[in-house]
A and B are shown apart, each in its own frame.
Chain A
Amino acid sequence: MKKLIAMLLVVCMLLALGACSNDSEKSSATSSTSEASSSGSESSSNEPGKSSDKPEKLVFWTMWNDAETQAIDLTKAAEEYTAETGIKIEITYNGRQNLQLALTALNAGTQIDFADGDLDDTLNTWKNYMTDLDKYAKQSYPTTNGKPLDEVLNQTLIKVAREIGGGTLKNIPFQPCSFVIMYNKGAFKDAGVTKAPDTWDEFLVACKKIKDSGIIPITVDDAYLHMLFGSYLERMIGVDETVNIIKNNAWDNEAVRKTVGAWKEMYDLGYFSPKASTNVYPAGQQDIGNGTVAMYFNGTWLPDGLRNVTAADFEWGQFAFPTADNAKYGKEANYFGAQSFAIFNTSKYPQEAFNYIASVVSGKWDEQIAKDTWGIPMATDAEWPACLADTKTIFENTTVRFPNNFNMQDDQNQYVKLKANFAKLISGKLDVDRFITEMCK
């Protein structure tokens, strides 16, 4: 009898454990999610990719944290979408781990209709699950004034998205960004620099005037040291040769010498902040925000990131990385990218998911997100925030897209060497020859 009771207890405990496991799965999903509306029921048993009936809910996993402005606007847009269509959008705010979390969940069979992430990274990570979006992008939506969606969006990014998608749109870009030299227009004016520099020589002249006016011309953080170096080098010789140098540890190269020499000269002339080599992110960028430094090479997200540091009358300006003499590329070659939406091929309602995406990347919500985040809008007719007005021209004139990080992080062995040696270079601890020697080790 006792044995029977014991066995029954074991069965009960195991059932309880099983029940806990199911509940915990649900409760963890609920606790980590914030639904735009209350939960809906399971969707019907349609084939993936077919949208024959209206779903009760769509599941959206986002790369934003729930307190971020982007997340707040996306949630409001979802609520509006729900009010208009009756389709609830259940949003899970995963933050920057969204790529991996979504992939793990997809591999485990979790139902996710769509998600967002970096334009390139999503393709690298989710490629086996991404639906071809061309047919949806070629339709018109309430926010596109009768035109196909892909015609009203930033054509440079749509072209890039098609290129990296192998000729078709696998994701819809939004929140575009570009790497440019961000500067304090007030400091430039005070120093008598009336025109943003185009060439390296003009850049040096501007730096001199700024330094003479009592402001430090430029600074950098540890996280972006490689960007200064990489941008110059890749402009000099292009992507293929840069990749070749990194891959083969072939740093004893004329273009590398010229690049190192240019930055060494910047140090010798006193144009770098004395703290530049010791700045731990984001210490350096605080200095442009508080007005002690005039320039910082960074993405167009910088004004938003520093909005609590900059004074009310702070005027942001941007110019493309200056063109060096005899460089292969000029101002037309820059890094730019975007976040993006992807719809998974496990979704039974891709059209409904795309309807929401279209409402976010064009029309009212596109402008609202750009306005609230001081970001770049996706639609061609949308208004750019004043703090990024100069970037619009840079973006429009960019015809060559350099890879993220200018390939400097392709090989982590090379990257950590470059980071340490470049910091030493801009603090006067290495000259050109020693820099090359250290890099070749």
Chain B
Amino acid sequence: MKRSKGMIIGFLAPAVLSYLIVFLYPTVRTILMSFFRVKEVSDPISSWSFNGLENYKKLLSTDVFQTAMKNIAVIWGFGLVAVMGSSMLLGIILTSGVRGKKFFRAVIYLPDIIASVAIGTMWVEYIYNAEYGLFNRILAFFRLDPVGWTGPDVIFWSMTIAFCFGCVGKYMLIYINGIERISPAYYEAATIEGAGIFRKFWSITVPLLRGIYHTNLTIWTCGVVGFFVWSQVFSPLSMSTGTVTPMIYMYYLVFGSEGQVSVHDSGAGAAIGVLLTLMILLVFACSNLLVKKDDIEF
């Protein structure tokens, strides 16, 4: 069938225009804003004053921002090992023919369905509570001293563990999907050749899941970079050293908090947005380099 350029343009135009207006324009505006001194996010462009790289320099020399970056770096690294490791392990177990697969899959995925605010509140109120929380009750049962799970020394790890716990189900499902795509013929052939379960895992499952690692790494990075709700649940009303993340600081700079509206600095807020986007792109690029999806065909 002969393709009509007019037809193609005609049907594409509304979608392209919508994309340009609702996505590209705010993106370009935000990038531009990051190089200007802008107080309110809605200030007209005529009121912006050029600030060069000052917003970026100021951010990088700000203690709170450094702490926020360190926090998400640790969450990213710790979670990468803990969440990806445990979700892969669970994925392998649940695809190994274990009984009650559907039940366990549903139970493990359940925390991902429930709103983060509800899950976070449950952790704070019922698991970490100093008086009646589950963890301190377990410690009391073993006659151990209670721990201040939400105290300034421990709150970061308490929040990180709670966050990671809620993430396992989603990544487990992705791993299950990836594992189930691997043809059983490979395992059968390996079994005939005398390969044991670990050999099959290392030589078949691990290499053939490369595409899944890439996908999970990208999703994980986006999720950690956008870390916001859990910080709000663990430190409502104001920032804390243990829970502050770049998104929290960006929100503070752009929207302020009660009694703190005079600190608004949307230019610096935009710079945080740009930095976070660059981080995601960097991880994505590194992931593309390290994990080539198409070097193995199956």
Which A residues have a C-beta under 8 Å from some C-beta of B?
Answer: 2-3, 6-7, 9-10, 13-14, 17, 96-97, 99-100, 103-104, 107-108, 118, 120-121, 124-125, 222-223, 274-275, 277-281, 283, 403-405, 409, 412-413, 415-417, 419-421, 423-424, 427, 429
Contact = CB atoms under 8 A, between A and B. Distances in A.
Given A6-B4, A6-B10, A104-B40, 6 more contacts: A6-B11, A118-B259, A277-B151, A416-B67, A417-B63, A419-B241
Contact of A17 (B14, B124, B258): B14
16 contacts: A6-B10, A13-B14, A97-B255, A107-B43, A108-B42, A121-B258, A277-B151, A280-B124, A409-B257, A409-B260, A412-B263, A413-B64, A415-B239, A417-B241, A419-B240, A429-B153
Contacts of B125: 283
Contact of A275 (B4, B131, B244, B261): B131
Contacts of A278: 130, 148-151
B241 A104 contact: no
A416 B239 contact: yes
Interface residues of B, number: 51
A405 B262 CA distance: 13
Interface in B257-298: 257-263
B241 A427 contact: no
B237 A223 contact: yes
B138 interface: no
| Nearest 9 A/B pairs, CB to CB | A404-B259, A223-B237, A104-B42, A278-B148, A6-B10, A420-B152, A10-B10, A413-B63, A107-B42
Given A278-B148, A280-B150, A283-B129, A412 B255 contact: no
A3 B4 contact: yes
A14 B240 contact: no
B148 A416 contact: no
Nearest to A421: B152
A97 B258 CA distance: 10
B238 A415 contact: yes
Interface of B: 4, 6-7, 9-11, 13-14, 17-18, 40-44, 62-64, 67, 124-125, 129-131, 148-153, 234-242, 244, 249, 252, 255-263
Chain A at the B interface: SS class? helix
Which of B237, B240, B252, B261 has most A Cβ within 10 Å?
B261
A404 B7 CA distance: 61
A416 B244 contact: yes
Nearest to A106: B42
A424 B44 CA distance: 45
B235 A7 contact: no
B14 A14 contact: yes
Contacts of B67: 416
B225 to A, nearest CB: 20
Given A118-B258, A419-B240, A420-B242, A103 B40 contact: yes
Nearest to A21: B21
Contacts of A281: 236-237
B10 A7 contact: yes
B148 A277 contact: yes
A9 B10 contact: yes
Nearest to A221: B237
Contacts of A13: 13-14
B93 to A, nearest CB: 35
A6 B7 contact: yes
Nearest to A120: B259
Contacts of A409: 238, 257, 259-260
Nearest to B239: A416
Contact of B64 (A125, A223, A412, A429): A412
Contacts of B150: 222, 278-280
B237 A427 contact: no
B240 A416 contact: yes
Contacts of A280: 124, 150, 234-236
Given A6-B6, A14-B14, A424 B259 contact: no
B130 A274 contact: yes
A10 B17 CA distance: 12
A413 B59 CA distance: 12
Which of A108, A222, A427 has most B Cβ within 10 Å?
A222
A420 B241 contact: yes
Contacts of B17: 14, 17
Contacts of A419: 152, 238-241
A10 B14 contact: yes
A22 B3 CA distance: 34
Given A13-B14, A107-B44, A424 B152 contact: yes
Nearest to B151: A278
Given A107-B42, A222-B240, A416 B131 contact: no
Contact of A222 (B129, B235, B255): B235
A277 B148 CA distance: 8
A12 to B, nearest CB: 10
Contact of B241 (A107, A121, A277, A416): A416
A403 B258 CA distance: 12
A213 B289 CA distance: 68
A97 B261 CA distance: 11
A321 B236 CA distance: 25
Given A420-B242, A424-B153, A99 B261 contact: yes
Contacts of B43: 107
A277 B238 CA distance: 15
Contacts of A9: 10-11
